[in-house]
Structure 1
């Protein structure tokens, strides 16, 4: 075997080591560059505003990379990856380094729930607009893949090992020197790179030539080694050709890295465009609006900021008439015109046809209403010019920010609140009042507690007597509900019934009240108390359900009750919804023996025609009619006509809310025969009703 000088052997080893060092640094630099681009993206607070946003945007950042996981950790070390899995990494070295502003590479570690599989991780800090570190973003991939990426080229019989300051093997090539003895040697290897770059060692009775080199990560060392007995002319030939091939590959690899960084940067720019640009109007997106609006309010004094929520009435109809593309054109036109109409500030489309505006426009309420009217007129004029015979109407909610705040979401919660109130009340504009917010809070409290209250039996049935006017004899009762919490607080129906109707919970309450009524009647009969009919108010949500008739008759039969003891009350508002279906139900109830009463007649937009169309048994006149009749002759004549008409239609008349003897005398003169009100008795708990109003 030809002898080779030590110098030639070391020169070859150093050439291979230097080449591999550059390749390794290029791989890690590429991964770090990917993460730096992602970190820039994550500076925007809206990108990480919720778990859903985090998962979506981490998944977008993972695309086009070799990472198995991409994750974000906040300052407290709470970490979430692109699969929605949470970890706590406060004490992990890569988090400690990057939260202090340094990129970090951490290898040969384990992640939770991965069966002991080894990973390598790179992290970089995420900054805010003030350049403060607010978190860490990182990428993780399997260690085996890291080995293949770092040592792609086999050069002769030269093996290379990348080790860290703890003597962990970060990665290694697949050369002939990788025996257990060599691995043990490397794990215990200590070298002063600056003082002793070239070394020799004996491992398992074999002599090795070793070259060590420091890496970009200051506490890493690259160890390249060759076994003396296997060094030959072939070794030099292969090694030198390997170096040349490796150099060529490195050049190609560097070019590929540049291309991949460019592609990834383009990819994230597309993501940014997706996040920051509204696809319909091509203006700023809602996420970008929140970010910019926060900066906007910082530089304006309290009281000068106006937040506006605006939408187009019946926008769906425009879409139906002209199609979605024309609908999008309309939205673009709205956006453009809103931008033109505000001298300074921001505009964005939030969703569908809803727009937000924040501006420093100082004006009175009257001036703002005029501004809305001018905008509407200008817009419809423009539509006419474009030959779109459609009249657009805007509904607007205004909120003047009186106290300094940078919480833009909170500002627009209020603007959105008044906008919703305007829609609900059929108004074109409403200005924010604190009362509206307090009402919304109360409603939310009711929504949050109503199910537990139902489970805890906090809804109590009360009864109010109905009496024959002349004899004052008890002829029936009305079932009413009270919400009595375990703390002793009591809520009345006008507080919670509207919320129950809005949420649909009213159906559950209606069924409960019917069950309580039947249960009480059965109790009276069993204990020898002569029962009186009880009327139960039932909402339209339940009455118009096709199975309602079967439900109520099943409940009555469950308690073996005479059906004439049950009276179903319907409000006059339901009669406008579906007269045909309602009459069909009433016919079925009559055939079974159940009476039907129209409750609160006169409280809304009453129609005498409905009395002809709805085949009810009882007409309950609302107390507002009685108050008006008591005060003026016109009101009295109207009440008299209603009583006479109802009598002609064979309907019983019951006057509600009777509180004085004068009202009683007036009603007697007008021909009313049954009454209900405080004059005869306030509502009492159902269990106390019999003992209070009649004897067994």
Structure 2
């Protein structure tokens, strides 16, 4: 009852308020009158409460905003340091690439005097990017575009170049004008050996100007230092020359309580090539120091800016929002939306820098790895494969058509493949001309189809440039979706490496055998030099017989590796590895010299050796000086070149026929016999065979089949023998294993064969006995 009356009274009081009468409740709930002054005081008190709450909210807002502001500011400075590091790296790499191109050009021109080289540089616009360019001999005696003679033999960059390393050095004083410079150097090769060093310089102040462009209205400093803190490039805005080391300067000038701890942390980050931002305090105020690695030598970009300057620029926007919020709530909301949008645009720009490939304008590899991880985490029962492919000799495209055209081609590759991808598939450029692709498949058939589609979208597009591509592709079928992206990429890349430089587009799937294969290849590579020094490579001789008389008429020199722990290793287990790593050059010359040495010994003992065949790898057949090298060795051991037959494989003739014909003709002029080995294994052009100055055609054992011959095989062999006879070529058949094969080839008028029925490959000592027996046989025939 009382409660109902009370609420009725409240309603009445409200009505009375509308009439100008003011009421209030006393402690007992009885309504009492308020004066206008008292009510105004009450309103003022409520306003104070509201203002207090507003201020509290604003305070909380400011605190939260300051935290976000600091995070944003540090992120911005962090990205700015990384961006400057990328600028420095790009400039250095471009300058180094320019110098390396000059080295290649000089190598292609052959012998060129230093003065002539300097004269050509002075007329080159491309080399005008450098302050000074010079050419040094192996003793350090150099001629440059500025001085006639200077010796750089004591310079570290010169010594590194002599070790085959292109390098860049900083903080060096120019001996001509005593200014600090950056020096680039790279070796010049001739026949695979270093014959000179090209170097070029630029003033450090040129790089300083690049770094100082638009840096907080010239109020920020950008330096380049070594990991130990030594300055390499100082900002042009900083005129303090007292300190030579960044960390020493920071410790000497900072006064903050926690500065030493932050500086120590920065040193540790720099040692392990991490980036970051710290805050320090000096007498002139607080400073932000952001740092990022350049990934060249141990160099770092350091960016220093006044904290109050950064805060002034960022707080101007905040103050506008704050006062707008106090005056008009709507205005505050509008400004807040503006800030949010501005922040969104900044984040979008940062994301673009972080996740967009500047060449292709598609998602970069960093972005791809993030998205691939998410895709695989949510894949459930879906199957995926990861491809890594690259374009062999893509640098030639840049050299022939220019970098702009090369970049266009890279973009086209991603565009073409990207159009065929589903929503849960990705592609990105890893770096240079290497790409990664994630594709989904249902079974082996669909996987093969998808991979073929990737290949065709790159190669079969009718583009003159693209159609000449040779792709090397590695494929890893993902079985465990929780596997790390790095491991997935490494396995696909490992598969790619096994088919790299195979001279035609090739693909390989990753499996555990590849790991064992790579380990074996590495083991062989590690042991090959010592094996050659320790005389572990032995020459075996495969006798060749006249098929009509069954008499010894010639032989082929083969190589075996007599390993101290693994026994005899056949050539097929190590020759392909040597061809990949270039060691085959040494092995070929070693075999040739051993054969010449033995021929000299046999002749000295009164024996009459037969012609010996020696294999030459494809690597040697593109060396225009190989004829002279072989002639020199033959003369060294007083061996008539006509006693040696040089075997080249059929596949060699398909690469550079004009150069090959030149080399073969030179060998023929010296007196060597020339044989084409493994005829019939590749795609020989009979027209090219007609033009090649060869003497012998060796039929591959595949024509004979396994133990017998088919009717079609017999017709092919017979036609080849007839053709060879018309071309005045001697025919040698490899690996005759059965009596049936021997009789068939004999009836076809084949000349010579490696008849395993008579003898397999034997050691040099055993072959000497075969020679003596053959000599005895000839004497008996004469008698």
Tell me how far 1:309 sits from its aligned partner. 3.6
- 1:409 is matched with which residue? 486
The answer on 1:364 being equivalent to 2:446 is no
Deviations 1:319-351 (A, max 9, x none): 95994575466356347535xx32325442223
Would you say the 8 A contact 2:677–2:700 is kept in 1? Answer: yes
- 2:606 is matched with which residue? 528
Would you say the 8 A contact 1:622–1:656 is kept in 2? Answer: yes
Deviations 1:483-542 (A, max 9, x none): 333323443222332333333332222111111111111222233333222110112321
Deviations 1:634-660 (A, max 9, x none): 322322222233233332222210112
Would you say the 8 A contact 2:357–2:363 is kept in 1? Answer: yes
The answer on 1:543 being equivalent to 2:682 is no
Alignment of 1:552-631 (within 5 A): 552-627=630-705, 630-631=708-709
**1:399 counterpart (476, 480, 495):** 476
**1:280 counterpart (328, 344, 359):** 359
Would you say the 8 A contact 2:247–2:263 is kept in 1? Answer: no
Alignment of 1:303-452 (within 5 A): 304-309=383-388, 323=405, 326-327=408-409, 330-331=412-413, 333-334=415-416, 337=419, 341-344=421-424, 346-352=426-432, 354-358=434-438, 361-371=440-450, 398-403=475-480, 405-418=482-495, 424=502, 432-452=510-530
Deviations 1:449-498 (A, max 9, x none): 43443344332221111122243322222111123333234432223323
- 1:258 is matched with which residue? 311
Change (3 A) 1:300 1:633: closer
Deviations 1:528-581 (A, max 9, x none): 333222110112321332212211111111111222221111222223334444
Would you say the 8 A contact 1:35–1:138 is kept in 2? Answer: no
Looking at structure 1, the residues matched to 512 and 577 of structure 2 have their Cα atoms a distance apart, in angstroms, of: 19
- 2:716 is matched with which residue? 638
Alignment of 1:206-217 (within 5 A): none
- 2:543 is matched with which residue? 465
Looking at structure 1, the residues matched to 697 and 465 of structure 2 have their Cα atoms a distance apart, in angstroms, of: 47
RMSD: 5.5
**2:734 counterpart (650, 653, 656):** 656
Change (3 A) 1:479 1:84: farther
Looking at structure 2, the residues matched to 556 and 377 of structure 1 have their Cα atoms a distance apart, in angstroms, of: 50
Would you say the 8 A contact 1:476–1:534 is kept in 2? Answer: yes
Would you say the 8 A contact 1:422–1:430 is kept in 2? Answer: yes
Looking at structure 1, the residues matched to 247 and 262 of structure 2 have their Cα atoms a distance apart, in angstroms, of: 20
Deviations 1:159-181 (A, max 9, x none): xxxxxxxxxxxxxxxxxxxxxxx
Length-normalised TM-score, structure 2: 0.53
Looking at structure 2, the residues matched to 538 and 388 of structure 1 have their Cα atoms a distance apart, in angstroms, of: 34
Looking at structure 2, the residues matched to 329 and 281 of structure 1 have their Cα atoms a distance apart, in angstroms, of: 4
Looking at structure 2, the residues matched to 542 and 526 of structure 1 have their Cα atoms a distance apart, in angstroms, of: 30
Would you say the 8 A contact 1:281–1:335 is kept in 2? Answer: no
Would you say the 8 A contact 2:386–2:492 is kept in 1? Answer: yes
Looking at structure 2, the residues matched to 668 and 561 of structure 1 have their Cα atoms a distance apart, in angstroms, of: 32
Alignment of 1:474-485 (within 5 A): 474-485=552-563
Change (3 A) 1:304 1:671: closer
The answer on 1:512 being equivalent to 2:590 is yes
Would you say the 8 A contact 1:35–1:124 is kept in 2? Answer: no
Gaps spanning 5+ residues in structure 1: where? 1-28, 72-79, 86-109, 128-133, 153-251
Change (3 A) 1:271 1:576: same
- 1:216 is matched with which residue? none
Change (3 A) 1:661 1:82: farther
Length-normalised TM-score, structure 1: 0.59
Change (3 A) 1:273 1:467: same
Number of corresponding residues: 511
Tell me how far 1:687 sits from its aligned partner. 3.9
**Larger RCO of the pair (alpha carbons < 8 Å, separation 6+):** 1
